[in-house]
Amino acid sequence: MNKNDIIEITVTDISADGSGIGKYNGMAVFVPLTAVGDSVVARVLKVKKNYAFAKAEQIIHPSEHRTNIDCSVFNRCGGCVFRHIDYRTECDIKQNRVAQTMRRIGKVQFDPKPIIAATNSNRYRNKALYPVAPNGELGFYSKRSHRVIPCGDCLLHPKEFADAADIFTNFVQKHNISVYDETTQRGLLRHFYLRYGFKTGEIMVGVVINGSELPEADQLVNRLKTKFGDNLKSVILNINTKNTNVVLGDKNVTVYGRGYIYDILCGVKVRISPQSFYQVNNAMAEKLYKKAAEYAEPDGKNILDLYCGAGTIGLSMAHEAKSVIGVEIISSAVKDARINAGQNNITNARFICGDASDAAEKLENDGILTDVVILDPPRKGCDESLLKTVALGFAPQKIVYVSCDVATLARDTAILEQFGFELKEYTPVDLFPRTAHVETVCLFEKK
């Protein structure tokens, strides 16, 4: 096979990032934007030693899983990977990926429970961070670069975000405000930031700037107020003057409102500050937490909630639990967690700001007893030292592991197994429809 060859190929599998895969003369060929069951004529773009990439030029026989693509920037913006196939098939793909990864890396001998599918596969996200294009339009970085693909109305975002994006772009263009250029590090506007409480309707608007002030900020505030009225609870400037890919800087200046919003998650009123982690899909986070509670059986238990963000998982179990201790590294999230406990009349929860491994070790040295440990780490998973402290030090009855990356979860599953904890059950939960991501919640018990 050579570059520019025209080949006919039938798609038999799909990769984690949504690319169809077929075999040609025994070699795997990745053909983006195809579905299992498609027969296509494709042009070979690149040939490697064991696989190749090709572009579908004509569909000879379409797969029954195909759907009409409803987004003009699909496959360019770096967000969705599954808009060309139906949602049920997407769930099957995610289910299989979780099963296969746990089998291959985690050496798990049994399949996950059926994936908990999303009720809405569109307009579910409560947070957006748009880079600003040189002309003031908002959009997303293209797949492998920092070129902005304009898209003010993303189908994953609520309609309110499109309205706010429009207002912002008009404001930038009218006042000729400069846009940050990564190569020269000049210009003011870096990102536009939105958060939305699905249960409360509250909106936070943020502008990430390379500087300390936004010219005519009150004009922007007025236009947002006219559009959103009382639902507009905060307009903030986030100061980021560093030459970095990290989007948010450390400092927030509130130019309007209270500087945070509220939402409700599993009955808990949650305060969300600009920097606090908050699950992006409220409806599905509730299902995830419900499953986590089913696994944890918090009744009368002492719970340690590691990587707790604004405290939401632990707080959602606090009314039944005997005690909750949360650990989180971002100090503003810890502050939110403490306030969240107070506002919900929860008196049996406390929160520690620090690295999960260090804090766990200290708690263990202090002789703290826990019955259930919840682990909800970022994508890189847990340090082995933390798993050791949890499994051998605390030796709880149960560990409930919530993961947003099945590869690191599978690795950690094998480690927990060595430390005497057995995986009893695991369930994928689709918090991120149309994207390549999937969440998994697991129950481990002491052998």
Q: Catalog residues that contact ligand SAH under the rule CB under 6 A.
A: 277-279, 307-309, 312-313, 327-330, 333, 355-356, 376, 378
CB 126 within 8 A of CB 196: yes
- Residue 58: CB atoms within 10 A of its CB come to 11
CA distance 347 to 63: 56
The least CB distance from residue 418 to ligand SAH, in Å, is 22
Q: Is 404 a catalytic residue?
A: yes
Name the closest residue to ligand SAH (Cβ). 309
Instruction: Answer for the pair 19, 52: CB distance below 8 angstroms, yes or no.
Output: no
**Cβ closer to ligand SAH: 137 or 376?**
376
Q: Is 46:20 a contact under the CB 8 Å cutoff? A: no
Q: CB 330 → ligand SAH: shortest distance, Å?
A: 4
Q: Per the residue annotation, which of 71, 151, 154, 404 is the catalytic one? A: 404
Indicate the residue among 168 and 278 with the shorter CB distance to ligand SAH. Answer: 278
Residue (336 or 371) nearer to ligand SAH, CB: 336
Residue 321, classed as helix, strand or coil, is coil
Nearest-angstrom CA–CA distance, 379 and 16: 15
For residue 115, give the DSSP letter.
P
If you count DSSP H runs as helices and E runs as strands, how many of each does the chain have, helices first?
A: 9, 21
The span from the CA of 129 to the CA of 207, in Å, is 10
Beta strands 398-403 and 439-446: pairing type?
antiparallel
CB 80 to ligand SAH: min, Å: 22
Amino acid at 95: Q
Q: At what angle do helices 87-104 and 406-418 cross, to 10 degrees?
A: 30
Question: Would you name the residues annotated as active-site residues?
Answer: 404
